[in-house]
Structure 1
Amino acid sequence: MFEIKKIIGSLLMPLPLLGIITLLMVFLAITQRRKALYLGFISVLSLLIVSTPYVGQTLIASSNNPQWQFNKRQHSQIDNIVVLGCTIMPHPQLVANNQLGDCAISRLLEGVKLAHQYPDAILFVSGGGFANTTNSQLMFETAKTLGIAASRIKQNPLAMDTAEEAKRLAIYLVDKKSALVTSASHMPRAKDLFNAQGIEVIPAATDYKDYSQFPMYKQFIPSADVLVAVTRVSHEKVGSLWIKLRRWIDPEAL
């Protein structure tokens, strides 16, 4: 079920979805040339348009709420700092931090910053992985090199998605003051899943994306970075729909 969910979710992202549509149109062009070429043109054009900073910013703006940043002045004490996993790139010849993807590094740095600000707090690093490497292990090793004592760091290496992270960490976080560190686009869904486990978390969002201040000459030029940001927001929307469907089928599911 987990693999099927991931495959279907991945295929619904802008690049694979529009790519599949375009391939279908090329195939149909053999028998229905005009209609297929027209739809294929629309697919490629749509992909280019959503990849521009001008349009991409419109699509991701609501998912990058500045209010989700952690405000130290509002919290004199924190018991736990929870850093959720993100992308990793396992390679046995690289040190831990070089195996973490951009969003994983961004999340970990925010978590380490908070750990330095709250020296009595426990730092939870979460996330499974592949190729005998887990997100939590790479974050654990990197956090140690950034000055966090190993005794303060707890790993959660078996969780393969956010729902599992919330369930596995719940016993440590209930009735505690916990900061939740994840990407801004992921925060609403993550907070919802942790709340469903009876955990009140304090948002500590990072990995913000904003292209509104790009110079005008860049606003209408397609960018791979913008497409990645739009894809992440699309992933979150699909994930939220999946949660609603699961809860509709079984209110206790997530």
Structure 2
Amino acid sequence: MFYLASTRMVAVWLMEPLENGMRLVSNPKADAIVILGGGKREQSEYNGETMLSEGSGLRLQYGSWLAKQTHLPVLVTGGSPEMQGEAEARVMEKTMLNFYDSSPRWVEDQSKTTEENALYSAPLLKKAGINTIVLVSHGWHLPRAIPLFEKAGFKVIPAGVDFTYAYTPTIRNWVPSARNLERTSWAMHEWMGRIWYALKPAAKPVETPSP
């Protein structure tokens, strides 16, 4: 099972159903862009400053590029899931300022799960009259995130990043690699997450972000 999970065949098989239809359509008619956090880490080369993980960096890079193309305002969302250090959204805000010469209009820094991303972002966006959003995250994450933002009252346009390469018939598909194992791991995480959210009671909406 470990060998199979490390092969491209299994990684693609698990990822493709999640990523299908998650690419951004051209010229989206939306009111704002929402970028979901995907982790952070300490970076010694930046004097130990907290920086975004690779996943968060890809999301922020794409979301910042979309903002410049569409001139839409941006909300970044993500707290400190480990209850330690700076919130992901605050790190995203600093990264936009330092590397992309822009800044988000809204920063939601209390959420610790995808569900809370939607619940805590909703009051900030609704107050500004936002109804349709472009939601930026990994293609495999969006099928779970989109329904949560729809339940929060938004029309959602998916804008996925970092898609799995299409399958091609070659012997390399059966050569194990850490990259394939990582993608299998994320895919299993998402499939289990979808089962969890399908079984758990719906969370109540919040009127204002948590203090």
Instruction: Please give the range of the TM-score, normalised by the shorter of the 2 chains.
Output: 0.7 to 0.9
Q: Does 1:102 align with 2:54?
A: yes
1:156 to 104, 108, 111: 108
Answer 1 or 2: which has greater helix percent.
Answer: 1
2:146 to 191, 198, 222: 191
Answer 1 or 2: which has greater strand percent.
Answer: 2
CA distance in 1, matches of 2:66, 2:47: 23
Aligned to 1:82: 34
**Displacement, 1:108?**
0.5
Q: Does 1:204 align with 2:159?
A: yes
**Displacement, 1:148?**
4.0
Contact 1:136 1:155 in 2 (8 A): yes
**Displacement, 1:74?**
4.4
Aligned to 1:137: 90
AA of the residue aligned to 2:66: L
Identity of paired residues, percent? 25
**Displacement, 1:132?**
1.4
CA distance in 2, matches of 1:186, 1:132: 24
Farther-moved stretch of structure 1 (105-114 vs 54-63): 54-63
Q: Give structure 2 stretches of 5+ with no counterpart.
A: 206-211
Contact 2:8 2:173 in 1 (8 A): yes
CA distance in 2, matches of 1:190, 1:207: 16
Give the direction of change, closer, same or farther, for the CA distance of 1:95–1:184 in structure 2 (3 Å limit). Answer: farther
**Displacement, 1:95?**
7.0
TM-score normalized with structure 1 length:
0.71
Q: Aligned pair count? A: 200
Q: Does 1:179 align with 2:130?
A: no
Cα RMSD over matched residues? 2.4
| Structure of greater Rg | 1
CA distance in 1, matches of 2:47, 2:167: 35
Q: Does 1:218 align with 2:172?
A: yes
AA of the residue aligned to 2:192: V
Secondary structure at the aligned position of 2:181 is classed as helix
AA of the residue aligned to 1:112: S
Contact 1:184 1:205 in 2 (8 A): yes
Q: Which runs of 4+ in 1 moved over 6 A?
A: 95-98
Give the direction of change, closer, same or farther, for the CA distance of 1:200–1:80 in structure 2 (3 Å limit). Answer: same
TM-score normalized with structure 2 length:
0.84
Give the direction of change, closer, same or farther, for the CA distance of 1:148–1:178 in structure 2 (3 Å limit). Answer: farther
Secondary structure at the aligned position of 2:111 is classed as coil
CA distance in 2, matches of 1:163, 1:81: 17
CA distance in 2, matches of 1:219, 1:69: 24
Secondary structure at the aligned position of 1:180 is classed as strand
CA distance in 2, matches of 1:124, 1:106: 16
Aligned to 1:73: 27
